[in-house]
Amino acid sequence: MPQRMFVAVVPPQEVLEELADFLAPREGMPWIDPGQWHLTLAFMPSVPQAREDELVEHLDSAAARVAPFDVQLGGAGCFPDPTRAKVLWLGVDAAAGESLTRLATGARAAANVSGATPDGRAFVPHLSLARLKRPIEATRWLRVLETFRSSPWRVREIELVASHLGEGPRRRPRYETVARAALSGE
């Protein structure tokens, strides 16, 4: 049976804690659980189980072509726009954005050749913080989120994650890391 999967960079625990501490006093928004925070490189809505091993092999190759790099969360945005925001997010510094784009391109190519066609959305390096049931005018929230800067950290790997809809707390998805692929720049 096919699985919903994504390829992501997961921030280290200390960065997740910094962000959780920043958001804790800011009520009134359905913040995503810190255990689900990640930077999505590729989302595959239907990965054939028989092709999972092949996908992992291709992801290993794609990751190996990118050298480890530093990233820092900062800057805020939303989808689709501030007047009718459905998702609030944090961005990354520009230099890391270039490396993340290279990783996303490799991850999406790996998915395509493995028969796990990724969604067709343009890649925007970000970490989703809140998903809203109804659109809001988000300018005030974006100003608040703009003040956050995480500690920098070194990205050394990407993760292939299975998303099990409705199996997590409060009917949220449950994420399960299926494989990790190391960056090496070779």
With helix as H, strand as E and coil as C, how does 36-90 read?
Answer: HCCEEEEEEEEECHHHHHHHHHHHHHHHHCCCCEEECEEEEEEECCHHHEEEEEE
- Quick: pLDDT tens for 95-111: 899 999 999 999 999 99
Per-residue model confidence (pLDDT) at position 173: 77
Number of domains the chain contains: 1
On the question of pLDDT at 185 being above 90, the answer is no
Q: Comparing 44-48, 153-157, 167-171, which segment has the lowest mean pLDDT?
A: 167-171
Residue-number span of the structural domain to which 165 is assigned: 3-74+96-124+139-182
35 in a structural domain: yes
- Quick: pLDDT tens for 134-152: 999 999 999 999 999 999 9
Higher pLDDT, 131 or 167: 131
133 in a structural domain: no
Q: What is the mean pLDDT of the chain?
A: 94
CATH of the domain at 154: 3.90.1140.10
On the question of pLDDT at 172 being above 80, the answer is no
82 in a structural domain: no
CA separation for the pair 111, 104 (Å, rounded) = 10
Per-residue model confidence (pLDDT) at position 165: 74
For 20, residues 6+ apart whose C-beta sits below 8 A from its C-beta are 34
- Quick: pLDDT tens for 56-103: 999 999 999 999 999 999 999 999 999 999 999 999 998 899 999 999
